[in-house]
Amino acid sequence: MAYDDNDAKRDLEFLKTQFGIDAQLYIPEDEQACCRHKHREPQEYDALLKRLSRIEGQVRGVRGMVEKEAYCTDILTQVSAIQSALNAFSRELLANHIRTCVTEGIQNGDTEVVDELVRTVEKLMK
């Protein structure tokens, strides 16, 4: 099950009622106007979803390990595997982004896509 806006709103309400914390959902400025879309070819779409499904299963597995009180290093090993899987997902998505969105943007004279790419890579390298 994915954590979504409804879950976030429920958690914020919990903070307010239980602790008197009047928190608001923070959405970074660069994500507030997220209205861009990208059509992906079926092969790319399926590959990305397959990776995400595998990662989702790994996260559920770690949750199960915590619930079953598994040994710390065993859990940490699985967390490391999840991080590696997320990094592989990011690399694949970034490569596809460069081959399609960035290339098309440059060909259409939109040099802003290069600056956007640089900012994205900087975020990934934190």
Q: Which sequence spans correspond to the domains of the chain?
A: 1-35, 40-124
Q: How far is CA 51 from CA 54, 93, 99, in A?
A: 5, 11, 19
Q: Give the pLDDT confidence score for residue 2 in this predicted structure.
A: 55
Q: Give the pLDDT confidence score for residue 14 in this predicted structure.
A: 64
Q: Give the pLDDT confidence score for residue 38 in this predicted structure.
A: 86
Q: How many CA atoms lie within 13 A of 19 on its CB side?
A: 8
CATH code for the structural domain at 40-124 = 1.20.58.1000
Residue 62's CB is within 10 A of a number of other CB atoms, namely 19
Q: Give the pLDDT confidence score for residue 55 in this predicted structure.
A: 96
pLDDT 10s digits, 44-76: 999 999 999 999 999 999 999 999 999 999 999
Do the beta carbons of residue 54 and residue 85 sit within 8 Å? yes
Residue 45's CB is within 10 A of a number of other CB atoms, namely 11
Q: What is the pLDDT along the chain (126 residues), one digit of tens a residue?
A: 555 666 667 766 766 666 566 666 556 565 555 567 888 999 999 999 999 999 999 999 999 999 999 999 999 999 999 999 999 999 999 999 999 999 999 999 999 999 999 999 999 888
Residues recorded for the chain: 126
Chain Cα centroid distance, residue 10: 21
Q: Give the pLDDT confidence score for residue 3 in this predicted structure.
A: 55
Return all residues near 92 (Cβ < 8 A) that are at least 6 apart.
47, 48, 51
